[in-house]
């Protein structure tokens, strides 16, 4: 799929360039002529959307860094100065702060799509792992970015997250002190977080290049999970997918704009408009919404070290996923039982997110007193998050390995073109699961 090139330099300059630096050939092969399965649905547009998100964050971030002052005495005021005095500063700052949330919405959609269609399975294991690296870097970048406005949530969020490392035996305290550069989160911490927050997006961009490279080696997966067999299965990336991605991007931007212009603080927390005060902690510390599921896993465990390990384990398990799923069938479209477990998994993730935003002792069903189980009432958020956490890990560590061996999958089409040509009539799940019908 890679290696062969259809690029023909037309002008003298193109031939001259092609003999020295075949950059036009690279662009042509990867963005124009790249053969792409013709049955990709809208879930496959999130890759393009994510590229745009990264671009927006980079541009707005570089601009914000021109005005931001990374000092505990000036950080809060400098951001408000951007909002009040810098020309279009309000637009650039709100795009950046809401852009982080949009980035995570898109990345979660992208990941769930990969999980559903088995895009992590051979030969795309490295493609998936590179994606997980990007996700990890995104989380680190988003966390450090949230510290920069130096509001109450910034400060106390930084305190809580850096203290997680203190849970590690022996070296924990030294690591925390090293991260802080002092005895607490302070100016030194803010400065290094700013520096790293500026650096990491470029690391993300680097891994994105590897991610796209790996994609172009193996080619796209597709909703059937069946390998591309002939030219009839594919269309050139341009104009077929540039225009489809473009349309999806326009829709995504509509949602983005609705937040930026009409509800710019809906995804944030009011306490972050109070300047940081190390002596007073806000009544309820919550991370940004995209971290809530992991926060719920952390709090589900009564032991500090175990909680931290489980939280990191929730991400680590994604890295070994390609070897946990034992099925030979990629797409869950042809694995009805596993598909059911997958949808329960999605619900479990949502439940974790919901629990992460509540207090552990809050009732799940208000006012219903049940009974005390170990350390908490059964009808409490903490028990709900325990069940959801258990399912989260069970899905990866038990359900996927076992189902791959025991499940009897539906018959797959022989090629991508087959279900298209037969108009899905013969396929038991094709009619319901073929997203093109709904596109």
DSSP 8-state secondary structure symbol assigned to residue 166: G
Q: How far is the CB of 151 from other proteins (least distance, A)?
A: 8
Q: Which residue number, 28 or 180, has a Cβ lying nearer to other proteins?
A: 28
344 Rama class: left (phi>0) / alpha (psi -120 to 50) / beta: alpha
Q: How far is CA 320 from each of CA 116, 211, 324, rounded to the nearest angstrom?
A: 16, 17, 7
Q: How far is the CB of 268 from other proteins (least distance, A)?
A: 9
Q: How far is CA 33 from each of CA 6, 75, 227, 234, 260, rounded to the nearest angstrom?
A: 7, 47, 19, 11, 36
- Phi and psi at 224, nearest 5°, equal -85, -20
SS (H, E, C) 305-321: HHHHHHHHHHHHHHHHH
Q: Which residue number, 346 or 410, has a Cβ lying nearer to other proteins?
A: 346
Q: Which CB contacts under 8 angstroms, 24+ apart, belong to 275-283?
A: 275/76, 275/150, 275/151, 275/152, 276/72, 276/76, 276/150, 276/151, 276/152, 276/154, 276/155, 276/156, 277/152, 277/155, 278/155, 278/184, 278/185, 278/186, 280/152, 281/152, 281/156, 282/152, 282/153, 282/156
Q: Which residue number, 254 or 405, has a Cβ lying nearer to other proteins?
A: 254
Q: Which residue number, 226 or 292, has a Cβ lying nearer to other proteins?
A: 292
Q: How far is the CB of 379 from other proteins (least distance, A)?
A: 16
Q: How far is the CB of 128 from other proteins (least distance, A)?
A: 20
Q: Which residue number, 108 or 393, has a Cβ lying nearer to other proteins?
A: 108
Q: How far is the CB of 264 from other proteins (least distance, A)?
A: 7
Q: Which residue number, 56 or 311, has a Cβ lying nearer to other proteins?
A: 56
DSSP 8-state secondary structure symbol assigned to residue 363: B
Q: How far is CA 385 from each of CA 109, 115, 304, 397, rounded to the nearest angstrom?
A: 22, 22, 16, 18
Residues 6+ apart with CB under 8 A from 215: 127
Q: How far is the CB of 94 from other proteins (least distance, A)?
A: 8
* Gyration radius of the chain over CA positions: 24
Q: Which residue number, 176 or 389, has a Cβ lying nearer to other proteins?
A: 389
Q: Is residue 256 within 8 Å of residue 98, measured between CB atoms?
A: yes
Q: Which residue number, 309 or 359, has a Cβ lying nearer to other proteins?
A: 359
Q: How far is the CB of 99 from other proteins (least distance, A)?
A: 12
Q: How far is the CB of 210 from other proteins (least distance, A)?
A: 27
Q: Which residues pair with 428 in a beta bridge?
A: none
């Amino acid at each position: 799929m890679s290696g062969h090139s259809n690029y023909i330099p037309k002008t003298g300059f193109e031939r001259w360039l092609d003999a020295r630096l075949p950059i036009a050939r690279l662009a042509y092969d990867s963005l124009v002529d790249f053969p792409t399965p013709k049955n990709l649905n809208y879930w496959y547009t999130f890759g393009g959307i994510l590229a745009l998100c990264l671009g927006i964050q980079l541009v707005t971030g570089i601009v914000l860094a021109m005005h931001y002052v990374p000092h505990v005495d000036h950080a809060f005021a400098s951001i408000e100065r951007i909002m009040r005095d810098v020309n279009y500063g309000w637009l650039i700052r709100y795009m950046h702060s809401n852009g982080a949330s949009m980035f995570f919405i898109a990345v979660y959609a992208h990941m769930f799509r990969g999980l559903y269609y088995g895009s992590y399975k051979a030969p795309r294991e490295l493609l998936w792992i590179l994606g997980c690296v990007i996700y990890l870097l995104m989380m680190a970048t988003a966390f450090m970015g949230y510290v920069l406005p130096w509001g109450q949530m910034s400060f106390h969020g930084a305190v809580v997250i850096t203290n997680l490392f203190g849970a590690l035996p022996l070296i924990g305290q030294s690591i925390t002190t090293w991260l802080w550069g002092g005895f607490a989160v302070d100016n030194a911490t803010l400065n290094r977080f700013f520096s790293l927050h500026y650096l990491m997006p470029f690391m993300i961009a680097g891994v994105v290049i590897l991610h796209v490279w790996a994609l172009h080696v193996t080619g796209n997966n597709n909703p059937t999970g069946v390998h591309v067999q002939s030219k009839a299965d594919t269309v050139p990336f341009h104009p077929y997918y540039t225009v489809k991605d473009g349309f999806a991007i326009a829709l995504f931007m509509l949602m983005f704009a609705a937040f930026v212009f009409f509800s710019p603080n809906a995804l944030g927390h009011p306490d972050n408009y109070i300047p940081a005060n190390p002596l007073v902690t806000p009544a309820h510390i919550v991370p940004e919404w995209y971290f809530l599921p992991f926060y719920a896993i952390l709090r589900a465990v009564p032991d500090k070290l175990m909680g931290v390990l489980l939280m990191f384990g929730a991400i680590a398990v994604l890295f070994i996923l390609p070897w946990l799923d034992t099925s030979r069938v990629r797409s869950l479209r042809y694995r009805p039982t596993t598909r059911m477990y997958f949808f329960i998994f999605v619900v479990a993730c949502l439940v974790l997110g919901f629990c992460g935003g509540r207090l552990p002792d809050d009732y799940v069903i208000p006012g219903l007193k049940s009974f005390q189980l170990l350390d908490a009432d059964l009808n409490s958020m903490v028990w709900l998050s325990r069940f959801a956490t258990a399912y989260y890990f069970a899905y990866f560590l038990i359900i996927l390995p076992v189902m791959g061996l025991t499940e009897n999958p539906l018959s797959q089409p022989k090629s991508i073109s087959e279900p298209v040509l037969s108009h899905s009539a013969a396929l038991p799940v094709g009619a319901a699961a073929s997203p093109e019908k709904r596109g």
